[in-house]
Structure 1
Amino acid sequence: MKKLHIPIVLLWALTITNALGQGAFTNTIGENWEDEEGYAMYLNSDGTVMIAGFTESISSGWRDAYLVKTTSSGDTLWTKKFGLMGYDEFTDVVKTADGGYAMVGRTWDTGTLDDEDVYLVKTDANGNLEWQQTYGGSDDEIGYALKQTQDGGYIITGSVSVPGGAHILLIKTNASGDTIWTKTFQASSYGEGEAVIETSTGDYMVFGYRSNTMYLMKTDANGDSIWSQEYPDGEYGMDMKETSDGGFILLGFTNDIGAGDYDMYLVKVDANGVSQWAKTYGFPDYENAQAVIQSSDGGYVLVGSTYTYISDDDDLYIVKTNSTGDVEWQNTYGSIYDDRGYDVVQASDGGFLAAGYYIQPGTFYSDVYLIKDMGGASSIEHKSEASSHLVSVAPNPFTEQTTLTLEVDSRNTVYVDLIDLLGKEVQRTQFFPESAGPINILIERNELPQGLYFYNIRSNEEIIATGKLTVQ
């Protein structure tokens, strides 16, 4: 999570070709010479999308909280900025009963260096400010999630700092944002509330972590704890949703079990928090989990990021499972730099929208990243206006080696990345042109198994062409 420059307009178009369906896309939102990131989403009934996060584009302080509305195909309808005179950002957004929106996050006055406070903003349906409130004392308080409650007020969870760590924070407000009560729940080291749900009986479910252990708690309507459960194999709890059977699906990440240093960790529990099953997801390096939903078919969709030590970058990572947590498909999205996913929703056509941030090649600033995945393996084409490179591949299919022929505009190093059907980069080839003009790049099979692969060809930190290869 995260400089005043004169904007230089660089127009980018991002398109996606999906191997198993139509309607998918990727899009970036923001100015090329400032940072913008998206942390939370809400899908409206008309298919439009709300994204909440931050922008550093000509803000009232160092950073402003940011609300974006897009069409169902990811085109920006409007953007709004909110904040005080410092560092402000949103971490969650909900639609309110009156058709407006409420966002929660944090605010910090960088001028006075006062402590961080929880920041709650209410807008109308067009994103116009109706009111804003802050909550906090002499410590740092941050809001991570909120819901509008049955009485029209709001329930917020987050964290409050203490010497040597932090405690889980729970705040109940009325419809105008005035505090009704505040509760803290102690951790021996560090704790955060990352998700909150109001039950049909008016109680609250709070999920997060305490002392490096996933933690689920049920409170009564006054915020007093009724019961709590810990899940020792999960170190960090990041999201929770109620499931169709009355239980809950919990998402975090773990370093204790799984394929790599950290992996996504999904736990299905009943209404009393008793674990029914648990699964891990990831590759040999490092995965970060951020959000989960139950899909219309009863399965689950997870989003976060995956980090590869060899390439030293993160990509947005999305995983689809069946109702028992078995992987049906998984994909990665991003540039050659760090790109991450923070939230996911399901569209009415069955596709999945994920939001996060994308580092723009050439500027190295982040933009809000919005992708739509229709399911199955995907290949991404990322073009600038000036990019139009035709590639011939022969032979294709191939058994031992093949040659890619194309024209380049300069002597810049050319990279060819091969990507498998799971969206994972499996091979990289470098080529050093002696001059601008036609080049022939030899691709060796090496240890690649038989199957279909996608290729991305990059030059000058830009993807200039994409396509498919088949290994026999």
Structure 2
Amino acid sequence: MKKTISLITFTLLLLTTYPQQVQIQWQQCYGGSDMDKGKDVVVLSNGHIVVLATTLSNDGDVGSNHGNYDFWLFETDEFGNLLWGKTIGGSEWDSGKSLIQAPDGGYLLFGHTFSNNGDVSGNHGGLDYWLVKTDNMGNLLWQRCLGSSMNNLAEDMDIDEEGNIYVMGLSLGVGGDVSQNNGFYDYWFVKLNPNGEIIWDKNLGGTYTDNGLCITSTVDGGVIVGGIIDDTDGDITCNMVLWNKTAWVIKLDSLNNIQWQQCYGGTYTESVVEIKTTLDGGYILLGLTNSNDGDVSGFHGYPGEVNIYDIWVVKVDSMGAIEWQRCLGGTKDESPSFIKITPEGNYLIGGFTYSNDGDVSGNHSYSGGIDHWVVKLNPSGEIIWQQCFGGSPDDLLLGGYVISESEYVLVGNRRNPSTSGNIDCIAIGGFGDYDLVMYKILDTTVGISTIEEDKLPLKVYPNPATNSATFSYSLPAGTHQGSIEMRNTTGQLVASTMLNEAKGEWVLQLNNIPPGLYIYTLSTQQKTTTGKLVVTK
């Protein structure tokens, strides 16, 4: 039975700079003698960590390879010590993008493939989306190639309350699984059942290039999708600030009808790479920009400069109207990778930066190199803290997971190691072209997890939660009865259970519980413990 952990949240006065507000608890590097890149990460209810990577190595931690780049799935303990790993792929290029733990405890892996042998079958003739289902030890259960005979570039994946799978990217051409095309590259997204069978596919776009980059299922059975466009015809009816590359977001209902669409941007280039549903029923958009007009203000560089972007965060309401926006960066280039909503409704943003001015301080690779960059915003978009992590010329942060308000696991890669920064690990097989790096950080502005003797032992995983939440409890000695209740912020009871054993677990299915902040209470005749659970979709 795990020890009780209760978070005591307290507010610290913010400094004008942000030193020592985030600490690395541990770090590990993984890989072989070639290129190994971490792409996505999930933390399990037992604290173990599962990582999706792309690898070209055939030695070291990787062990074997099918001939070119492979998906690499591995599990570690709570301190990052490797437990097992599997390479999945064929003899051509197979690159992973997104990882989700399935409701049955297995894993869904999404990326793209040129292969049609080894673990891969059904390729349509070029670059296909590739969806893979494994068991909880990484053993292949089924796989599905999706696409036409032309190129189909995978970008994002999500899962809904019923276990249906949504995949997103861009597609060229018609045929195979692609039912239509508007001219060139389109947003192309597909809904599949839990067994990988296609339910429907959908194209959105105009005459030219439209890159679908993200998809999120919504509580009404629909989806919201986003990316970047450079045309104004076809399905595109929203007003662009100027005719240029613009962020395009579309909300569709459960029948695939467009409910609304919005174009966001300024004179130059904007995109949206990730969308999350917020606790108030709106959405938080993560993207990039190099404009400083229209919908954009606060850009840190010279507007329109080639390959110089800020990370752009936009909060919109349920109909896509902008509530606030924030440019994050310095005078050099920044790139976004992920945004996560914390249990307190703050935003954790990860990406990478070349800058060491503006919002960015502490870059370890400022002589032309890249650092991991993590920023925490409050619900109004104000910076709580920022931190650079690195030590080599090229450190790319690509994935992250929120364990609690104060604990986060981050995954990416590093090249040509240096001991001058705060990431200095080396993989067991020595350093390759790129090594995968994973580390856990602690936000000291929240407070350190402590054990409170007067509280009942209760731990809730994951938090935030999407499909289910596990309540792991232990009642006082001699007590064999208790209860757990969960209420929304208005006090309405949404779920409860009676406890008739001294210790155990209650798995709460969240299918019919809307996103938001909830208060849970574990009670016996002697003691009570309360906490917060964030439900996201």
TM (norm. structure 1) is 0.71
In 1, the alpha carbon distance for the partners of 2:104 and 2:142 equals 14
Q: How does 1:250-399 map to 2 (within 5 A)?
A: 250-257=285-292, 258-260=299-301, 261-308=308-355, 311-348=367-404, 350-361=406-417, 363=431, 365-375=433-443
CA distance 1:99–1:251, change in 2 (3 Å): same
Report the CA distance between 1:218 and its aligned residue.
1.1
Report the CA distance between 1:195 and its aligned residue.
2.2
Identity of counterpart residues, as a percentage?
28
In 1, the alpha carbon distance for the partners of 2:172 and 2:398 equals 23
Higher relative contact order structure (alpha carbons within 8 Å, sequence separation ≥ 6): 2
In 2, the alpha carbon distance for the partners of 1:256 and 1:197 equals 26
In 2, the alpha carbon distance for the partners of 1:241 and 1:284 equals 28
Partner of 1:242: 277
Contact 2:37/2:413, CA 8 A, preserved across alignment: yes
Partner of 2:49: 49
Contact 2:128/2:145, CA 8 A, preserved across alignment: yes
Q: 1:170 aligns with which of 186, 189, 204?
A: 189
* Paired letter, 1:105: G
CA distance 1:306–1:199, change in 2 (3 Å): same
**Residue 255 of structure 2 corresponds to residue 219 of structure 1:** no
Report the CA distance between 1:28 and its aligned residue.
1.4
CA distance 1:314–1:189, change in 2 (3 Å): farther
Contact 1:330/1:376, CA 8 A, preserved across alignment: no
SS in 1 for 2:370: strand
Contact 2:350/2:400, CA 8 A, preserved across alignment: yes
In 1, the alpha carbon distance for the partners of 2:349 and 2:315 equals 13
Report the CA distance between 1:40 and its aligned residue.
1.5
Gaps of 5+ in 1: 1-17, 378-472
Contact 1:193/1:208, CA 8 A, preserved across alignment: yes
Report the CA distance between 1:136 and its aligned residue.
1.0
Q: 1:139 aligns with which of 134, 147, 150?
A: 150
* Paired letter, 2:112: R
Report the CA distance between 1:199 and its aligned residue.
1.5
CA distance 1:180–1:321, change in 2 (3 Å): same
RMSD: 2.5
Q: 2:209 aligns with which of 167, 177, 190?
A: 190
In 2, the alpha carbon distance for the partners of 1:139 and 1:179 equals 19
In 2, the alpha carbon distance for the partners of 1:165 and 1:50 equals 37
**Where in structure 1 do 4 or more consecutive aligned residues deviate above 6 Å?**
110-113
**Residue 73 of structure 2 corresponds to residue 67 of structure 1:** yes
In 2, the alpha carbon distance for the partners of 1:61 and 1:222 equals 42
In 2, the alpha carbon distance for the partners of 1:40 and 1:50 equals 9
Per-residue Cα deviation, 1:394-414 (whole angstroms, up to 9, x for no partner): xxxxxxxxxxxxxxxxxxxxx
In 2, the alpha carbon distance for the partners of 1:61 and 1:285 equals 37
Partner of 1:454: none
In 1, the alpha carbon distance for the partners of 2:404 and 2:432 equals 34
SS in 1 for 2:66: coil
Q: How does 1:426-445 map to 2 (within 5 A)?
A: none
Partner of 1:451: none
TM (norm. structure 2) is 0.63
Report the CA distance between 1:344 and its aligned residue.
1.8
In 2, the alpha carbon distance for the partners of 1:21 and 1:186 equals 42
Contact 1:188/1:210, CA 8 A, preserved across alignment: no
SS in 2 for 1:24: strand
In 1, the alpha carbon distance for the partners of 2:201 and 2:188 equals 7
CA distance 1:334–1:45, change in 2 (3 Å): same
SS in 2 for 1:201: coil
Contact 1:355/1:369, CA 8 A, preserved across alignment: yes
* Paired letter, 1:228: Q
Contact 1:329/1:375, CA 8 A, preserved across alignment: no
SS in 2 for 1:313: coil
Partner of 2:31: 30
Report the CA distance between 1:317 and its aligned residue.
0.7
Report the CA distance between 1:305 and its aligned residue.
0.4
Partner of 1:40: 40
Contact 1:170/1:223, CA 8 A, preserved across alignment: no
In 2, the alpha carbon distance for the partners of 1:280 and 1:296 equals 23
In 2, the alpha carbon distance for the partners of 1:79 and 1:342 equals 19
In 1, the alpha carbon distance for the partners of 2:100 and 2:329 equals 30
CA distance 1:91–1:174, change in 2 (3 Å): same
Report the CA distance between 1:21 and its aligned residue.
6.2
Contact 1:66/1:89, CA 8 A, preserved across alignment: no
Partner of 1:468: none
Q: How does 1:106-145 map to 2 (within 5 A)?
A: 106-109=112-115, 114-145=125-156
Contact 1:168/1:187, CA 8 A, preserved across alignment: no
CA distance 1:376–1:210, change in 2 (3 Å): farther
* Paired letter, 2:73: L
CA distance 1:157–1:113, change in 2 (3 Å): closer
In 1, the alpha carbon distance for the partners of 2:399 and 2:320 equals 23
Contact 2:44/2:50, CA 8 A, preserved across alignment: yes
Contact 2:309/2:332, CA 8 A, preserved across alignment: yes
Partner of 1:202: 221
* Paired letter, 1:282: G
In 2, the alpha carbon distance for the partners of 1:265 and 1:372 equals 25
CA distance 1:339–1:21, change in 2 (3 Å): closer
Report the CA distance between 1:20 and its aligned residue.
4.2
Per-residue Cα deviation, 1:217-261 (whole angstroms, up to 9, x for no partner): 111224332221111146121111111111111000111131133
In 2, the alpha carbon distance for the partners of 1:131 and 1:219 equals 29
In 2, the alpha carbon distance for the partners of 1:105 and 1:187 equals 25
**Residue 135 of structure 2 corresponds to residue 79 of structure 1:** no
* Paired letter, 1:267: V
Per-residue Cα deviation, 1:87-125 (whole angstroms, up to 9, x for no partner): 112100111111111011000139999410000000111
Per-residue Cα deviation, 1:338-388 (whole angstroms, up to 9, x for no partner): 1111122212372222211111438561111212222369xxxxxxxxxxx
Contact 1:47/1:348, CA 8 A, preserved across alignment: no
Contact 1:24/1:351, CA 8 A, preserved across alignment: no
Partner of 1:232: 265
In 2, the alpha carbon distance for the partners of 1:19 and 1:312 equals 25
Q: How does 1:403-442 map to 2 (within 5 A)?
A: none
